[in-house]
Homo-oligomer: A and B are copies of this chain.
Amino acid sequence: MLTNTEENYIKAIYHLSVDNKTVRTNAISEVMNTTPASVSDMLKKLSDKSYIHYEKYQGVSLTKKGKTEALQVVRKHRLWEVFLVEKLQFNWDEVHEIAEQLEHIQSKLLIERLDNFLDHPTSDPHGDPIPNAKGEMPVLRQVLLSELEITIKAKVMGMKEHSPAFLQYLDKLGITIGSSVKVMDRVVFDASVELKVNDKKTMVVSHEVAKNILVSPID
């Protein structure tokens, strides 16, 4: 059985894995808030337990076994977030830290009962997909708002950034999951986006903001 720390490392490696590139020690140390030396220690351990492929100085990737574990932790994290928002009336910017703890509770039965209680949600309050009990992740084709073609209407599906500051800003703008958005124009100078939200409100958001909003074009 994995310790909480091992689970956190494996989850971090999972989240850092994009397009088959290996995940580097320094990148892990950054998201884990530890030193690269501590990461090296842990990588050796995770490699010995065959959760990761590891070649010294070359970065790591998850094994099959490691990926399975990662997906279970992600599943738990996201289901608990749904619980906190849907049942306990938390705001979407308040749930991450608590889910960080709850994701480590060990009980297969608990998580299946929770899933059932929540009516088998497929995405969490930030729009992130929830893997099923087998660890299969629903594949959603989504585009970044920063990449959305001009004048095409789309629906907000999720956020890449989860910090309270960002989520609260979106609350203020009136942008949430399910909102409709249409890019009216792009500012050439700084790639700011002129946006119509829910067919009424027009606003300008920075490229940085647009880069963190996932949308799906409507038909």
Number of this chain's copies in the complex: 2
| Chain B residues with CB below 8 A from A97, complex form | 107
B88, B105, B106, B110: which contacts A110 (Cβ < 8 A)? B88
Specify the main secondary structure of chain A where it touches its partner. Answer: helix
Contact residues of A between 48 and 105, Cβ < 8 Å to B: 84, 87-90, 94, 97-98, 101-102, 105
| Cross-chain contact A105 with B107 (CB below 8 angstroms) | no
Q: How large is the interface on A (under 10, 10 to 19, 20 to 34, 35 or more residues)?
A: 10 to 19
Q: Min CB distance, A107 to chain B, in Å? A: 5
A80 to chain B, nearest CB (A): 10
**Which residues does chain B contribute within 8 Å of A169, judged by CB atoms?**
none
A19 to chain B, nearest CB (A): 36
Q: Which residue of B lies closest to A4 (CB)?
A: B4
Q: Give me 17 other A-B pairs in contact (C-beta within 8 A), A88-B117, A101-B106 excluded.
A: A84-B110, A87-B117, A88-B110, A88-B113, A88-B114, A88-B116, A89-B113, A90-B109, A90-B113, A97-B107, A98-B105, A98-B107, A98-B110, A101-B105, A101-B107, A102-B102, A102-B105
